Amino acid sequence: MKRLGVACCLLTLTLGAAQLLAQQPPASAPASATPSMETSKTVSDKLQQLDQKVAAAQSSADNAWMLVCAALVLMMTGPGLALFYGGLVRQKNVLAIMMQSFALMALITVLWALVGYSLCFGGSGPFIGNFQHALLRGIGVDPNPDYAATIPQLTFMIYQLMFAIITPALITGATAERMKFSGTVLFMTLWFFFVYAPMAHMVWGKGGFLNAALGGRFPTLDFAGGTVVHITSGVSALVCALYLGKRVGFPKQPMPPHSLVLSFIGACLLWVGWFGFNAGSALASNGLATTAFVATHFGAAAAALSWSLSEWIKNGRASALGAISGAVAGLVAITPAAGFVGPMPALVIGFIAGIFCFWMVTRFKAIFSYDDALDAFGVHGAGGTIGALLTGVFARAIYNPIFGAGKPTGGLDGHWGQVGNQLVGVLFAWLFALVGTFVILKIVDAVTGLRVSEEHEIAGLDITQHGEEAYNLES
């Protein structure tokens, strides 16, 4: 009986369990997993679309900023530099000096499109580019990640063109009032190919000998052109002034500016355009552009004050010409440092540059008695040199970690060796410009001649070189 009772209990439990299992719905794991997988895929697709829209918005903003900056830099040549230089020469030469700036806007543009851009930014050689982008082959709306990952390479190309235009135009300040127009055109063509293009590649091009970001042997910090633009043009201006000799009557005959009003307007246009020159060199509308923008303004302001103060101490008054010259000197000096320093170092760099360039223009020039007509060397050569050296002192990784996260940038950042790199870059730029310019001058002098005749110089270059006069004063 006991065994029978146990058996009956087991049978009852088994039947009850079977009944419970039969009442529960069958498992359907795959069916319940399908909506979850679809939801995950939808979220992933939406996130990807959102990333694409964000990237497109960033690219559009960066591209708009860079196109504006390109226009600002072109404005620095014409009308900025044309008016600044035009007001400083005598009335009989105002059209001639302005024509040189305007002609270079056209000449360098054509040379740039043919082969200039490729020589500056093609390939990865240490000293010069190659011909891979000759005739702008391969330059379109797709970015080149080596240089600017968020803007079309076509935008990068046109922005860099504006630098190539203004650089040789700066030299005309030293040759003003005595150089043939034909000689100017040939000289600037050869100078662009054999001085500017190699220097631009060495400092800014991939693999360039002095490039700080893309594998250079001596990484020289040059944010927007202290060596490439100002040292090369300023030193070349000095060579040209020495080679051409002094203007007829210099220094005994007074040669005051014919219109400081024009120069004043030109200097103000240069100051505004320089924001495109320096802040635009961030190649994006980001915090680095803001850093460069602020440093540019502070450097110019400090130099305008220090030049005026120096002039006040020396002459008992501050002149308008001194103030605008000081501002330009500060803009020149802050150019290589703009993207590496904060506001206070920018003030220091500008203040030092104003005093140094004032001394170069007033004392150094008098001691050696050379005729740099519009002080292209005293402002651009000297200002670019002091600015490049001070960049090595004041550069900070907090503003631009160009050597990598956590690595110091300049001397005050703990990397005093960078001052040595800056010195190498400066000396190389000086030597390259000196030798290259002298050789080119000899070639041009043999082909077209460089200097106008004494009769033409006395009559003025407006009428003798272009058959025009700047002002018709007939009533």
Q: Which residues contact 29 (CB under 8 A, 6 or more apart)?
A: none
Does 318 reside within a domain? yes
Does 42 reside within a domain? no
Checking if the pLDDT of 1 tops 50, the result is no
Does 246 reside within a domain? yes
Checking if the pLDDT of 102 tops 80, the result is yes
User: How much is the average pLDDT of 301-307?
Assistant: 98
User: How much is the average pLDDT of 203-216?
Assistant: 95
The residue range of the domain holding 320 is 62-465
pLDDT tens-digit map of 81-91: 999 999 999 99
Predicted local distance difference test score (pLDDT) of residue 34? 62
How many domains would you assign to the chain? 1
Q: CB of 377 within 8 A of CB of 174? A: yes
Does 33 reside within a domain? no
Query: Which residues face 179 on adjacent strands?
Result: 451
Cα separation, 85 vs 87, whole angstroms: 5
Q: CB of 333 within 8 A of CB of 302? A: no
Checking if the pLDDT of 4 tops 70, the result is no
Predicted local distance difference test score (pLDDT) of residue 10? 42
Q: CB of 189 within 8 A of CB of 111? A: yes
**Which CATH number fits the domain that encloses residue 312?**
1.10.3430.10
Q: CB of 373 within 8 A of CB of 173? A: yes
Does 43 reside within a domain? no
Checking if the pLDDT of 392 tops 80, the result is yes
Q: CB of 465 within 8 A of CB of 94? A: no
Which of the pair, 58 or 93, is modelled with greater confidence? 93
Cα separation, 176 vs 233, whole angstroms: 14
pLDDT tens-digit map of 305-339: 999 999 999 999 999 999 999 999 999 999 999 99
Q: CB of 340 within 8 A of CB of 391? A: yes
Predicted local distance difference test score (pLDDT) of residue 5? 47
Instruction: Pick the range with the lowest mean pLDDT from 22-31, 67-76, 130-139, 147-156.
Output: 22-31
Tell me the angle at which helices 260-278 and 287-315 cross, rounded to the nearest 10 degrees.
150
User: How much is the average pLDDT of 357-374?
Assistant: 96
Checking if the pLDDT of 26 tops 50, the result is no
Predicted local distance difference test score (pLDDT) of residue 9? 42
The model's pTM is 0.90
* SS3 per-residue string spanning the chain: CHHHHHHHHHHHHHHHHHHHHHHCCCCCHHHHHHHHHHHHHHHHHHHHHHHHHHHHHHHHHHHHHHHHHHHHHHHHHHHHHHHHHHHHCCHHHHHHHHHHHHHHHHHHHHHHHHHHHHHHHCCCCCCCCCCCCHHHCCCCCCCECCCECCCCHHHHHHHHHHHHHHHHHHHHHHHCCCECHHHHHHHHHHHHHHHHHHHHHHHHCCCCCCCCCCCCCCCCCCCCCHHHHHHHHHHHHHHHHHHHCCCCCCCCCCCCCCCHHHHHHHHHHHHHHHHHHHHHHHCCCCHHHHHHHHHHHHHHHHHHHHHHHHHHHHHCCCCHHHHHHHHHHHHHHHCCCCCCCCHHHHHHHHHHHHHHHHHHHHHHHHHHCCCCCCCHHHHHHHHHHHHHHHHHHHCCCCCCCCCCCCCCCCHHHCCCHHHHHHHHHHHHHHHHHHHHHHHHHHHHHHHCCCECCHHHHHHCHHHHHHCCCCCCCCC
Does 45 reside within a domain? no
Closest CA to 68 of 267, 272, 224, 226: 272
Checking if the pLDDT of 219 tops 60, the result is yes
Does 13 reside within a domain? no
Predicted local distance difference test score (pLDDT) of residue 475? 52
Does 473 reside within a domain? no
Predicted local distance difference test score (pLDDT) of residue 18? 45
Whole-number percent of the chain with pLDDT over 70? 92
Exposure of 63 in the CB half-sphere (CA atoms within 13 A): 16
Checking if the pLDDT of 409 tops 80, the result is yes
pLDDT tens-digit map of 115-150: 999 999 999 999 999 999 999 999 999 999 999 999
